[in-house]
Amino acid sequence: MSPRKTRSRKVAVGKEVLKKALDLTPFTDEPLRFIDEDGHPVADFSLEDVGLDAAMAVRIYEDMVLTREIDRMAWVLVRQGKAFFHISTTGHEGTFVPQLHTLTEEDWVAPFYRLPASLHVRGIKVEEIFAQYMGTRLDPLKGRQMPGHLGHPDHKLFAHGSGVGSQFAVAIGIARALQYRGKGMCIAYGGDGATSEGHFHSLMNFAGVYNLPVVVTVVNNQYAISVPRSRQTASKTIAIKAMAYGFDGFLLDGNDPIVMYYATKKLAEKARSGEGPSLIEALTYRLDPHSSADDDKRYRTEEEVKYWWEHDTLKRMRTFLEDMGLWDQDREEALRERVKAQIEEALNRAEEAGLPDWEELFHDVYAGETPWHLLEEKHLLAEELKERPLHNPLKGGH
């Protein structure tokens, strides 16, 4: 084939890819996208075509960078002994950040453990995120949850449990309540491994039957800890499973922030207007080990990880902004300095707040009067602490 014909073929393919993404075509075999693996547009389109303006496009990238640096600092806290566990967000910023930017104040979020570093987009303060990792006084949950399980009632964000996929039950309940109220929708998150749980399918069936206002985002980072997706399901995609539930499923390039924003915005509007649920499969990659307790070298190769780092979602979004004339090296350096200062200031505030009072263990358990057995336990603990004071990991020592 001649170079001219090759170029013509590439242009035609790009236009076809663009059309499928703009049409938000369900049940595709290949992920919908607006930018390619290097960050360049698959074909000519304007920001207005995808529901964006210049300010929002830039803000999404800036928030992705902040999310990445929050996540990197969380790893440092684990190594310093100030947090005992961490589940990484790195590599998923292009999925979470643009999605969260599409939500309104009436919408609810049912998160999972890979989401917290991005929740500043929802209005959570960065110092609150760090405080939750460390369990200090600024933690909205007052140190009662393990790291990475952030919730905040003021921001319509439910605190979730560690059981795989348990947040979907909460999300379906929220969506049913919102349906009664006639306003808002719920976005729910989980990994590809969560779709291997039986209750996931029961809940999706319930969402379809009752036409609930929910957008389910399955973050397919291709591993359920060490189990590859190919050992979890024989389905060609996860999105196709929605066909059996009676609603549409969409396979999206989870490292393309543009398509994640575009699709989620449209599907959230669809849910709010009473047109029912949708399932998004966001195809991405976990660049770090599953958690601070995982050794990913035992089940994947360095070459595989290197490939995905070379196509990191931050690189792709930056390249796109540069192609659009919205970004350059000077702006990049200025952003990095701002983020560095913001991280340091927030971390200092979170640490200096100190640990919550131990009495918080007994608060917010019952709405009314504290029952006798908890009062008895509180008294026993108070006596024990006189002899063995609590260890503060933020100050070192034993």
pLDDT band at 161 (very low <50, low <70, confident <90, very high): confident
Is 19 inside any structural domain? Answer: no
pTM passes above 0.85:
yes
CA-closest candidate to residue 287, choices 223, 337, 365, 348: 223
Q: Give the DSSP per-residue string, 139-162.
A: -TTTT-S-TT---BGGGTB----S
Q: Tell me which residue range forms the domain holding 117.
A: 26-351
In this structure, the answer to whether residues 319 and 383 fall within a common structural domain is no
Q: Does residue 240 fall inside a structural domain?
A: yes
Single out the residue of 342, 359, 388, 348 nearest to residue 82, CA to CA.
348
> How many angstroms from the chain centroid is the CA of residue 82?
23
Is 280 a domain residue? yes
* C-alpha radius of gyration, the chain, whole number: 22
Model confidence band, residue 375 (pLDDT cutoffs 50, 70, 90): very high
Please write the tens of the pLDDT for every residue from 59-78. Answer: 999 999 999 999 999 999 99
Two tokens at 180? 């009664």
C-alpha dihedral over 94, 52, 262, 157, to 10 degrees? 60
Q: What is the DSSP letter of 196?
A: G
DSSP code per residue over 91-122:
T-HHHHHHHHTT--TT-EEE--TT-GGGGGGG
Tell me, yes or no, whether 178 and 143 share the same domain: yes
Q: Mean pLDDT over residues 17-23, rounded?
A: 98
pLDDT exceeds cutoff 90 at 10: no
Asked whether residue 162 carries a pLDDT value surpassing 90, the answer given is no
Whether 12 is covered by a domain: the verdict is no
pLDDT of residue 5: 57
Paired residues of 41 in beta bridges: 35
pLDDT band at 264 (very low <50, low <70, confident <90, very high): very high
Is 126 within a domain? yes
Does residue 251 sit in the same domain as residue 267? yes
Neighbour-count burial of 382, counting CB atoms closer than 10 A to its CB (0-12 exposed, 13-18 middle, 19+ buried): exposed
With tokens 């987009």, the residue in question is 121
Judgement on whether residues 265 and 299 belong to the same structural domain of the protein = yes
- Same domain assignment for residues 339 and 318: yes
Instruction: Decide if 239 contacts 281 (C-beta within 8 A).
Output: yes
pLDDT at 396: 56
- Closest Cα partner for 102 from 278, 353, 237, 363? 278
Give 339-348 pLDDT, tens digit per residue: 999 999 999 9
Is residue 366 located within the same domain as residue 243? no
The residues that bridge with 224 in the sheet, in sequence order, are 227
Same domain? For 124 and 217 the reply is: yes
Give dist(CA 216, CA 277) in Å, integer.
8
Task: Examine the domain organization and report whether 226 and 256 are in the same domain.
Answer: yes
7 domain residue, yes or no: no
Same domain, 347 and 366: no
Residue 81, in any domain of the structure: yes
pLDDT for the residue numbered 397: 43
pLDDT at 398 over 70: no
Per the domain annotation, does 387 fall within a domain? yes
Would you state the structure tokens that stand for residue 308, as one six-digit string?
């995905």
Residues 274 and 386 in one domain: no
Per the structure, how many domains does the chain have? Answer: 2
Same domain, 155 and 208: yes
> Average pLDDT of 216-231?
96
